[in-house]
Each structure stands twice: as C-alpha cells, then as structure tokens.
Homo-oligomer: A and B are copies of this chain.
Amino acid sequence: MPDKKYVYLFADGAAEGHGDWRNLLGGKGAGLAEMTTLGIRVPPGFTLSTEACLAYYALGNRYPDGLWDEVLTALGCVERSLGATFGEPNSPLLLSVRSGARESMPGMMDTVLNIGLNDQTVEGLGAAAGDPRFAYDSYRRFVTMFSNVVMGVQHDVLEALLDEAKARQRVTHDSDLSAEALRDLIAVMKARVQDVTGRAFPHRPWDQLRLSINAVFASWHNDRAAAYRRLHGIPDDWGTAVNVQAMVFGNRGEDSGTGVVFTRDPSSGEKYLFGEFLPNAQGEDVVAGIRDPKPLTALRHRFPGIHAELTQVCQRLEQHYRDMQDIEFTVQNGTLYLLQTRSGKRTAPAAVRIAVEMVHEGLIDSREAVMRVQPAQIDQLLHPMIDPQASLQVLARGLPASPGAASGQAVFTAEDAVRRHENGARVLLIRNETSPEDIRGMHAAQGILTARGGMTSHAAVVARGMGKCCIVGCRDLVINESAGYCRIGNQMIQAGDALTLDGSTGQIILGQAPLVAADLGGDFAELMKWADSFRRLAVRCNADTPEDADIARRFGAEGIGLCRTEHMFFAEDRLMAVRQMIVANADETRQEALAQILPMQKDDFKAILRIMHGLPVTIRLLDPPLHEFLPQALEEIGELAAYMRRPAREVRRRVEDMRESNPMLGHRGCRLGITDPDIYRMQVRAMMEAACELKREGIEVELEIMVPLVGHVEELAIVKGHIQAVAEQVIQATGVRLAYLIGTMIELPRAVLTAGAIAREAEFFSYGTNDLTQTALGLSRDDAGMFLPPYIDRQILQHDPFVVLDEEGVGELIHMGIKRGRGSRPDLKVGICGEHGGEPLSVAFCHRADMDYVSCSPFRVPIARLAAAQAALREEAAAEEGAASHDD
C-alpha cells in the first residue's frame, strides 16, 4: 500500500475531507465534503486531490501508484450507498466528473456528465426510470460531451448530426426526438467520432471514467484556464482536484429540475434568496440557453416544500460559511440534492453591504468584514459609473488607465479643450499621447483618451492624479488633428461629437451614456472606519492643487505625501515667466522672472496648506528637466522670443541646446538645485512665507520639504544648506517660529546603497517607486508599451512593474534603503509616493517593509486605507498562527 492518500470519499453523511481543505480538495471538493458532513443531501462521490493531479503531471501524465485502487475502493462505497453498480446493465450507477481548483475558475476547465452509459446500460437506465427516451437523451448528451471534452471533437461536428436527425424527423426541439431516433443518432455520432479521431468511442464504463479524469487533469493546462489564471494571479503550479460524483437528474420529469441560488443579491447585496430554476432540465440546458430559466419564485409556487427546504439549507450554509453562498441544486423526482456551494462572486457595492450587514447580524466581526472587500474593487465606488441598465454602442476598447466614466464633446487639442470648457461645454480630450503642454487641456476635460501609451504613460499618471477617467493605448483610434476628426474603429468622430469613456473597463462608447454617481456614506463609511482602526500605515495623498487636496481630505487622506511643484509652473498665468526664467542667459532677467513667479507659487502653497491644516504636507522641489517647460512649436518659440524681446533664432537655439537624449536620466531633480540654486531658493521662500503667514493666522502647518533625485549625500547636503539659509531668513523676517523637516526622495539605486549616509542629512525618506522602478529595471515608463505587454503575456513578469511593485527587485532595494537609513537615524520617517502607493499588493508590501505611510492619488486613498488595514490584519493573523503553533 502506498503512504500517500489521494482519494477522499463523501457519502452517507460522512466525509474523509473537510471544508477548509481547499488546497487539497479544491473549492468544490471541500464544499461537497463539508455539506455531506453537515448532513445536507449531496449525491455521494469522492475527490481526487490536487496532490493526485500534481503527481500525475510529475509522472508525465500517469497515475501514481495506488491512485486507481483508491478510486475503485471509493467507487465501491458510492455503489453501496446508492445500491447501484457502475457499469451494471440493470439500473446502472452513472457518474459525473468535474474539475475543482483551490480558487473558483468558472467555466475554464472541463466537466463530463452521465459517465457509465453504453448500449447496454442505457437500456437498464431506461427500464429503471421507466422512461427510455430520458435514458437515450442522457446517452446522447454523454456521447456529445465526452467526444468533445475527452476526444477533442469540435462541438459543431456532432451538433450538425443532431440537426440532421431533427430535420430527418421533421422536429424542432431536441426533446421531440424519440428514443429510437436518438438511438440511431448515437450510432451515427459514434461512427463519426471514429472517422474524425481515428479512435473508437470507448464502450467500457471504466475506460470512460479514467479518460474523463485524465481530461479534467489536462484541462488545467488549456489556454483558456492559463489565461484566466494569469488575469487573476493564480499560480500555475496549484493544479486542480477532480470530483467524481453519482449523477442525479433534473430531467427525470415534471417533478425534477435544476437551479442556482445566491443567499444574497450578488449585485446589490440585499438579503434575500436570489436565483433561477429550470424545471425538467439538466444544468447544461441553462448554459446552452435552450430554455429561459425562471426566477426562484417559480420553485416556491410549484414545490413549496422543496423551496422551504432549500431556504433552510441556504440559511444553514450561509451561517456555516459565514459568507454569501452561490449554490447549485438539482431536484430529482421531488427530492432536493445540493451539488455545490461556494462563496459567491459579487459587485463592489454588494461586497461592502454584505460585509457590513453580516457584522450587524453578528455573523462576522469587523476584522473579517474588512478582509471581505477587495481593495481594488472599491475603486468603482468612488467614481460615477455608467448606468448598468443602459444599452451601449461600444466603438473600441483601450487600456482602462483611470477609473470612472465621463461623457462630453470630442476635442483633439488642449487649446480646443480649454476654449470649449470655458464656454461651458464638457469635453473629452483625445490625443495620440499627452505631454506636459497638454496639462491645461487635461484639467479642462472630463476624461482623456489616447491612442498610444500604457498604464503608466503621462496621460494615465496625470489623469489618475486628477481623478479623471482615462483610457490609453487605444489601437483602433486614428487621429487627424489638423483636419479636426478621428476614427474610432469604423466610426468617424468630428470635434464636438458626443462620446462616453468608461475608464474602469476601457470602453469607448458612442454618444452620451447615462451615468450614476458615487455614494461614500452609509455602509462604505462604516467599513472604512473599521479599516482605519486596524491599520498601522498612515495614508497620505499626492496632490498638486487645492482641488486635489480637498478631494483627498474627504477621502480620508492624513496629509500630502507628494505635492509636485512643477504642475504649478504650467499654469497659464506664469508659463511665460517660467519660460523666460529658463531661457534667460542673464542673471538679471532670470531673477526678474523668478520674482514674478514667487507670489503666485506662494499663493498655491498657501491654498494647499490651508486645506491640509493640522496635517503634514510634503512639498517636492522642482523635479523635471527645465526643457519640459519650453515650447517646441516654432510659433510658440516666436511668442516667447517676442515676450523676452530677444531674437527668435537665439531662443530657438537655446531650446535646441537644452534637449536631452534621455531626459529621465538627465538634468533634473536636485541637479537643478545644484546648478541653478535660485529656482529652489524661490520655491523655499514661497513655501516658507506661505507657511509663516498661515501660522500667524493661527492655522497649523506641518511642512516637509523634499529634495528629489538625490544619488549622493553631498547633493542633499548642499541643497539642504540653501533651504535652511532661505528658511531662516523668512523665519527671522516674519518672526514666526516654524518647525519644518527636510527630507529626500529615494528613487535611484545609488541613493539606496548610500542610504546610511543620506539619512544623516535627511529627516525623512520618500520612495519614488516610479523612478526607482525605471532605474532598477532600466525601463522607461514612456517607452515600455512596445514590449511590456508580451512580457506579461509570456509571464516573464507577473505584473506590469509600474502598476504592482516589483518586490524581488525594487522591493529588495526598498528594504535595503530602510535598513541602512534607520541604521544611522533610528526615527527616520519613511513613506512611498510613487504610483504604487495606491495599489493594494504594493501597499501590503509597504506595510511589511515597515514604512510609516503610503501616499497615492486622491481617488486611491480609500483603496490604500483598506489595503493597509488588510495587511495589518493579515500580519496579526500570521502572528497568532505563529503563536499557536509555538504553543503546541
């Protein structure tokens, strides 16, 4: 006898498995074992474990020693339980074989029903049921299904034969074919299968069973299943369990039927039995769409006793599993059988409502409620969405870069967006790709659509920051900017035509689709309050404007972790002065331009600091290369030259001279602070004056000044010297005592390596994981669109590293930097302000890395709060588990 046990029986109110052995038995197998143990009526059967599956793969698709013996033994028990024998010509036992992985992968893997039928047993089944037509219909279904799933015959090959038979018999419905007609059809089908495959249709029930099990094992590796796993982050090496179970028949007459029921409404979360029932039918008929299922009330009317029993079973299962259940059942000749129970999939609003109501019902505690809602899901709740009832004309799809939905007039230039917006129109900005020069247009627009770029292109990042809906990389979009139209798929769109974007799905919809607004109160607010009570990580926001700061505060942000000052430079009222400052060769002209910008920047800071009163605000000194602010079009260069009263040729030459081959790695960040210290001095003066004036008004200010792109401690030391000099001047001049911190971004590998030295100068670290990912991986965010998609398809990378933090690479750098930084400054404050700060997996990483806070775009603040809470709860659970195992 082998040591290993591969097969787990469930029959007669007892099961060898348990409900929490999902890893071993799969979700379905664990549910069947659990229901059996609970005394719920389940057709008896057994589960081949995932270990059996993996052993089968490991042996090159052969059964490990002992597996088949265990199958025979378990089948013997099932036979005894039902008093019927598999393969026995009189009153034969029939079996189903179903896949069942750890996580539900609906419809992805294979199923075979009615196994055990052949030309002999079909007669026995007919006699026992008193219904030969039923028996032959079951046989016909079996041959069709087995040929397709196990023998690889295309579906339409046998469908065609069925259609021919119906034509020959002059009938419309399958159910109109007589037993004889079906028998003839089956013979034709088997002959055809042999023709196509070169193999005979197996006659012996044992062969049928074995081949079906093998087919389910193999189906784990089919393309559909592999794609689903990739999409849902399910590892390839889990394998699937296989459930072999006695057949029950919902098609044994008018007192039979089949159905599905949810214990609560999966769309709204409301508590009532929600489901469908199809009388005299097998489950596959529902799938095939041959007949429309009826609502559950039909069951109540027709079989009130069954309905009452089902209601009680549902309650029991929900209580038992303490979660909303998705249940499959079959009624055979007036007897209710449960075929499956699992936690039901649900929409975001339903997830929140169910979690909160279950706490109120005492079914779960608030910890569990917080774990029940997927952080990524709640993004949907924060934005307006397209009315789910609306029917839509979808023109094309792009990448869903920033969620929410928006309708408006199509425009193709930032200028047009601004103009129409000023005239009161709602507009959607459509561009090949966006650049910093489009910022004003993006602000004016309701949503943004681009033909190029990926999830972390300029458009995507800026739109998420603004909380605007955005679709990028739409390959079916061709823009003719100068002619003022574009083509989306086959549809020509003129400037001004109405479109709707769904940034949550990537759909581009013709016309104005009806939208529904977000509701942040009620259950949602309650759930978030619980989440906040569990988390250790603080959650801040990335906000560059008072509007952003305001939204973020309403979404629960506990400060600003990144206030970029460059977007302020693009505002129309100062762009000319900014450009003059950059292009000026003479120190005097530059000083003059800076003096012009100072009061405007001060007002910006004042507005933001006022909104965030009492909370920390991290302001980053200018980061992008100066050439990003310069015009490229000849006409604009001319305007600038005229404004500066310099020859256009000279200005053009200067613009050209400043161009860089790799701006990402160029003259930016604190490098500007070293070569052009006056810009930083102006910014520090603006923020310090703003802070001191507010403080004098009695408003609390917690200012944190952040130096970007430090790679060497000396850079920080020099810039810090400039900051302190100006700050002290302002403090002296205003007489206001203001404490402030000076810290740095950690976004270069060299900064990580020398974090010990840098922390001696820096009072806080903020990981700029966008740039740290770019440098650590040598990967330009703007250019990765050409090769990242195939990388993810081929699983070279599990995720887009600009979306989900690359823990193996960038994550190790983060750990290293924190360790070294806190090694020389134990109370070093550490946060993250890259895009990853609002992505749940990455937030969990930040929690584990022992950061103090994450910072993300305003609309991701609730997601980060929830993800941070879950990370803390998961850690708590792991600690308890560790303590428990230690007690043993």
Is A718 located at the chain interface by the 8 A CB criterion?
A: yes
User: Which of chain B's residues have a CB closer than 8 A to the CB of A664?
Assistant: 661-662, 665, 778, 780
Task: Point out which of A671, A674, A714, A754 has the most chain B C-beta atoms below 10 A from its C-beta.
Answer: A671
Say how far A575's CB is from chain B's closest CB, in angstroms.
21
A776 — nearest CB in chain B belongs to which residue?
A: B749
Contact B747 A778 (CB under 8 A): yes
Main secondary structure of the interface of A (DSSP, over half): helix
Out of B714, B776, B812, which one reaches A796, CB within 8 Å?
A: B714
Contact B718 A796 (CB under 8 A): yes
Is A392 located at the chain interface by the 8 A CB criterion?
A: no
Is A188 located at the chain interface by the 8 A CB criterion?
A: no
Quickly give the copy total for this chain.
Answer: 2
CA distance A782 to B667 in the complex (A): 11
Per-position binary interface string of chain A over residues 655-687, scored 1 when its CB falls under 8 Å from any chain B CB and 0 otherwise = 000001111111100010011000000000000
User: Which of chain B's residues have a CB closer than 8 A to the CB of A806?
Assistant: 750
User: Which of chain B's residues have a CB closer than 8 A to the CB of A784?
Assistant: 666
Q: Which of A33-41, A131-139, A218-226, A787-795 contacts B (4 or more CB under 8 A)?
A: A787-795
User: Which of chain B's residues have a CB closer than 8 A to the CB of A780?
Assistant: 660-666
Say how far A508's CB is from chain B's closest CB, in angstroms.
21
Contact B786 A715 (CB under 8 A): no
Give residues of chain A (730-785) contacting chain B, Cβ–Cβ below 8 Å. 747-750, 753-754, 771, 774-780, 782-784
A660-B809 contact given A715-B796, A750-B777, CB 8 Å threshold: no
CA distance A790 to B808 in the complex (A): 36
User: Which of chain B's residues have a CB closer than 8 A to the CB of A776?
Assistant: 748-750, 753, 775
Is A711 located at the chain interface by the 8 A CB criterion?
A: yes
Is A805 located at the chain interface by the 8 A CB criterion?
A: no
Is A543 located at the chain interface by the 8 A CB criterion?
A: no
CA distance A714 to B809 in the complex (A): 14
Is A191 located at the chain interface by the 8 A CB criterion?
A: no
Contact B663 A783 (CB under 8 A): yes
CA distance A662 to B779 in the complex (A): 9
Contact B813 A774 (CB under 8 A): no
Say how far A810's CB is from chain B's closest CB, in angstroms.
8
User: Which of chain B's residues have a CB closer than 8 A to the CB of A810?
Assistant: 750
CA distance A667 to B779 in the complex (A): 8
Per-position binary interface string of chain A over residues 700-728, scored 1 when its CB falls under 8 Å from any chain B CB and 0 otherwise = 00000000010110110010000000000
Contact A808 B754 (CB under 8 A): yes
User: Which of chain B's residues have a CB closer than 8 A to the CB of A750?
Assistant: 776-778, 806, 808-810
CA distance A712 to B675 in the complex (A): 36
CA distance A779 to B670 in the complex (A): 12
Is A231 located at the chain interface by the 8 A CB criterion?
A: no
Is A797 located at the chain interface by the 8 A CB criterion?
A: yes
Say how far A362's CB is from chain B's closest CB, in angstroms.
48
A665-B812 contact given A671-B787, A674-B787, A791-B674, CB 8 Å threshold: no
Contact B782 A661 (CB under 8 A): yes
For the side of the interface on A, what is the size category? 35 or more
Give residues of chain A (183-237) contacting chain B, Cβ–Cβ below 8 Å. none
Per-position binary interface string of chain A over residues 624-663, scored 1 when its CB falls under 8 Å from any chain B CB and 0 otherwise = 0000000000000000000000000000000000001111
Contact A749 B809 (CB under 8 A): yes
Say how far A535's CB is from chain B's closest CB, in angstroms.
29
User: Which of chain B's residues have a CB closer than 8 A to the CB of A778?
Assistant: 664-665, 709, 711, 747-750, 771, 775
A711 — nearest CB in chain B belongs to which residue?
A: B777
User: Which of chain B's residues have a CB closer than 8 A to the CB of A774?
Assistant: 662, 665
Contact A790 B674 (CB under 8 A): yes
CA distance A734 to B96 in the complex (A): 55
Contact A711 B809 (CB under 8 A): yes
Contact A665 B709 (CB under 8 A): no
Give residues of chain A (789-830) contacting chain B, Cβ–Cβ below 8 Å. 790-791, 794-797, 806, 808-810, 812-813
CA distance A666 to B788 in the complex (A): 10
Out of B661, B665, B777, which one reaches A748, CB within 8 Å?
A: B777
CA distance A810 to B749 in the complex (A): 9
Say how far A416's CB is from chain B's closest CB, in angstroms.
23
A661 — nearest CB in chain B belongs to which residue?
A: B782
Out of B661, B749, B791, B813, which one reaches A663, CB within 8 Å?
A: B661
CA distance A26 to B813 in the complex (A): 44
Say how far A507's CB is from chain B's closest CB, in angstroms.
25
User: Which of chain B's residues have a CB closer than 8 A to the CB of A797?
Assistant: 712, 714
Out of B715, B749, B777, B779, which one reaches A813, CB within 8 Å?
A: B749
Contact B675 A786 (CB under 8 A): yes
Task: Point out which of A712, A718, A812 has the most chain B C-beta atoms below 10 A from its C-beta.
Answer: A712
Task: Point out which of A661, A711, A775, A809 has the most chain B C-beta atoms below 10 A from its C-beta.
Answer: A661
Per-position binary interface string of chain A over residues 369-398, scored 1 when its CB falls under 8 Å from any chain B CB and 0 otherwise = 000000000000000000000000000000
User: Which of chain B's residues have a CB closer than 8 A to the CB of A779?
Assistant: 665, 711
Contact B813 A783 (CB under 8 A): no
Contact B753 A812 (CB under 8 A): yes
CA distance A774 to B714 in the complex (A): 19
User: Which of chain B's residues have a CB closer than 8 A to the CB of A812?
Assistant: 753
Contact B711 A665 (CB under 8 A): no
Contact B754 A674 (CB under 8 A): no
Out of B775, B787, B796, which one reaches A712, CB within 8 Å?
A: B796
User: Which of chain B's residues have a CB closer than 8 A to the CB of A813?
Assistant: 749, 753
CA distance A797 to B675 in the complex (A): 14
Contact B667 A786 (CB under 8 A): yes
Contact A675 B749 (CB under 8 A): no
A750 — nearest CB in chain B belongs to which residue?
A: B809
User: Which of chain B's residues have a CB closer than 8 A to the CB of A782?
Assistant: 660-662
Say how far A730's CB is from chain B's closest CB, in angstroms.
26
CA distance A813 to B714 in the complex (A): 20
CA distance A810 to B718 in the complex (A): 22
Task: Point out which of A666, A709, A776, A778 has the most chain B C-beta atoms below 10 A from its C-beta.
Answer: A778
A783-B661 contact given A776-B775, A790-B674, A809-B750, CB 8 Å threshold: yes
Q: List 15 A-B contacts (CB under 8 A).
A: A660-B783, A662-B663, A662-B665, A664-B665, A664-B780, A665-B778, A667-B786, A674-B790, A674-B796, A715-B796, A749-B776, A749-B809, A753-B808, A754-B808, A775-B775
Smallest CB-CB A-B distances: 8 pairs: A665-B780, A750-B809, A662-B780, A666-B783, A661-B782, A748-B778, A749-B749, A714-B796
- Chain A residues with CB under 8 Å of chain B are 660-667, 671, 674-675, 709, 711-712, 714-715, 718, 747-750, 753-754, 771, 774-780, 782-784, 786-787, 790-791, 794-797, 806, 808-810, 812-813
Given contacts A661-B663, A662-B783, A674-B794, list 10 more A-B pairs with CB under 8 A. Answer: A660-B783, A661-B780, A664-B778, A665-B780, A667-B787, A671-B787, A750-B777, A753-B776, A775-B776, A775-B778
